[in-house]
Every structure is written in C-alpha cells, then in structure tokens.
C-alpha cells in the first residue's frame, strides 16, 4: 500500500514539475502551427498578387504559389515540432532522401515541368495558334505545366508532353499576320510564256485576298523534263492561307487552259518488239 502511495506521489510530482511545461509547449506548438499557416496563406496571396501584377501566366503562377505554400507550411511544421522538443534533424534527412527518390522516379515529369515553364515564359506559341511540334500539326487548345493539348485538322485531340515539344523544332504558322503561298504551274514548251504569265497576273489581281505589299512574284524557275515551271509566290493574311491556296490552284489551272496553255504531265511511250527466234 505504501509503494502505491509513493508511486502516485511520484507521478503527481512529475506532473507538477513537467506536465505544466508539456502543456505550455503543446499550446505553443499549436499556436505556432495555426498562426504559421495563416501567415503562409497570407504570404502566398501576396505572392500571387505580385505574379498577376507582373503579367505572369495564371497556370504557372498558381503552380509556383502552391509550391511556395507547401514549403512555408513545412517550415511551420518543423518549428512546431521543435517547440515540442522533437529533434527534426533526422526528419529533414528523411525528407531529403524522399525528395531525391521522388525526383529520380519522376525524371520525365520534372523534364516536362521544366519545359512547360520555358514555354510559358518564352511563349513560342499561345492558345489558338496553329503549330507543328512534337510530330503533330494542330491548333493549340491548352498549355499546362506538363502537356500541351492540340486539336488536329481532323478534329483529333493530341496531348503532347512539353519535353517532347521543346526537344524538337517548333513551327508556328500563326506567329505572323501574313504568309506566303508558293505555287508552281507547269506549261508546255510550245506555249507562249508571256501569255501564261499575263494570265497568272490576271488571276492574282482579281483576288482581293492577295496582298499588294509584299508584291507577288511570277517567273520561270525551272525547265523540267516535260514542262516549263513557272513559280507563283504571293502573300495573304494568315487566316486566308488555306482557302486562298485551294482557290488559286484551281483558278490558275482553269484560266491557263482557257487561255490556250496546256499543263503537261509526264508521259512514257512504250515500244514492243517481237523478236523472232
């Protein structure tokens, strides 16, 4: 009975000596965590406002703010643990090892992230542009941190990793307001070249989509095996590129034939010989 009384007395003495300190430390740790979270959120909001004011892309700004908030919360948690008397040195080592392992496991994802940051910062293309990148041609519908979504002319959605895009050549067909259409019209060696070129100029001047500046170019480029090749280079607004090219190709053929010019195509004469044995 005396041993039990002594044990109870010892517990009471320990609680009186250390319990109050533990209680205070727990309350302080909770206060550090709660107040620290509030400060972290406040700083995150200030950082986001700074990014928005600086004109940073909203996708990148949101991602960076999340990373900053996570790092600040980790610092708050470590401060709270320190207040409880927990040694955080081993905890930091574990986090470092875990971060290294995760980094090695997500190498491709991190590469895509870095490429996404480069695309958002340097803006080689934007949403709505028609580009050729990553082995695909299409209209850019969305640019995210890891992928770029494109819609092909066949209305297929292609999700291309950003690392694959920045690792190759990017052709942005929408980057400039105007584009040049290059056509080659072949006429017969017997045709009147002046008549052919005058007919081509007539077709060009009749189409309002063909720009006057820069001036179009019409001239003989090559003497082929079966035709005289006349190049027709002219400029149009970028949105008019496809339809103008289709209409002009058909119109030039029709008008050249109407003017009496022929458009030759390769022909072969096959001679059969019957050899007697």
Q: How confident is the model at residue 224 (pLDDT cuts 50, 70, 90)?
A: confident
State the CATH architecture for 9-105. Orthogonal Bundle (1.10)
* pLDDT score for 113: 78
- For the chain, the domains span 9-105, 124-172, 178-258
* 124-172 and 178-258 have identical folds: no
Q: How confident is the model at residue 140 (pLDDT cuts 50, 70, 90)?
A: very high
Comparing 36 with 257, the larger pLDDT belongs to: 257
Average pLDDT, rounded, for the chain = 82
Looking at the chain, list the stretches that DSSP marks H as alpha helix, in order from N- to C-terminal side: 2-14, 20-53, 58-83, 89-105, 107-122, 162-166, 193-206, 241-258
* pLDDT score for 116: 82
Task: Report the top-level CATH class of 178-258.
Answer: alpha beta
Distance CA 93, CA 210 (A): 67
* pLDDT score for 73: 85
CATH fold of 124-172: SH3 type barrels. (2.30.30)
* pLDDT score for 57: 67
Contact of 191 with 262, CB cutoff 8 Å:
yes
Q: Give the least confident one: 20-34, 42-56, 90-104, 194-208.
A: 90-104
Q: How confident is the model at residue 83 (pLDDT cuts 50, 70, 90)?
A: confident
């Amino acid at each position: 009975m005396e041993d039990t009384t002594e044990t109870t007395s010892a517990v009471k003495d320990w609680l009186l000596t250390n319990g109050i300190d533990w209680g205070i430390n727990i309350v302080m740790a909770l206060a550090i965590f709660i107040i620290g979270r509030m400060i972290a959120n406040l700083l995150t909001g200030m950082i986001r406002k700074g990014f928005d004011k600086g004109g940073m892309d909203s996708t990148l700004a949101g991602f960076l703010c999340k990373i900053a908030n996570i790092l600040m919360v980790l610092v708050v948690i470590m401060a709270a643990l320190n207040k409880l008397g927990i040694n955080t040195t081993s905890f930091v080592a574990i986090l470092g090892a875990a971060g290294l392992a995760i980094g090695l496991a997500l190498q491709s994802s991190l590469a895509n992230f870095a490429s996404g940051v480069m695309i958002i910062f340097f803006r080689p293309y934007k949403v709505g542009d028609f580009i050729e990148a990553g082995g695909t041609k299409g209209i850019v519908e969305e640019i995210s941190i890891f992928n770029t979504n494109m819609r092909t002319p066949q209305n297929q959605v292609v999700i291309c990793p950003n690392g694959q895009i920045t690792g190759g050549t990017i052709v942005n067909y929408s980057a400039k307001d105007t584009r040049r259409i290059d056509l080659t019209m072949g006429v017969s060696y017997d045709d009147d070249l002046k008549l052919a070129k005058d007919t081509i100029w007539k077709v060009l001047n009749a189409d309002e989509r063909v720009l006057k500046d820069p001036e179009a170019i019409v001239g003989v480029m090559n003497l082929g095996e079966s035709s005289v090749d006349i190049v027709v280079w002219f400029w149009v607004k970028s949105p008019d590129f496809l339809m103008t090219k289709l209409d002009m190709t058909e119109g030039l053929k029709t008008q050249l034939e109407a003017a009496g010019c022929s458009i030759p195509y390769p022909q072969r004469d096959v001679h059969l010989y019957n050899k007697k044995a």
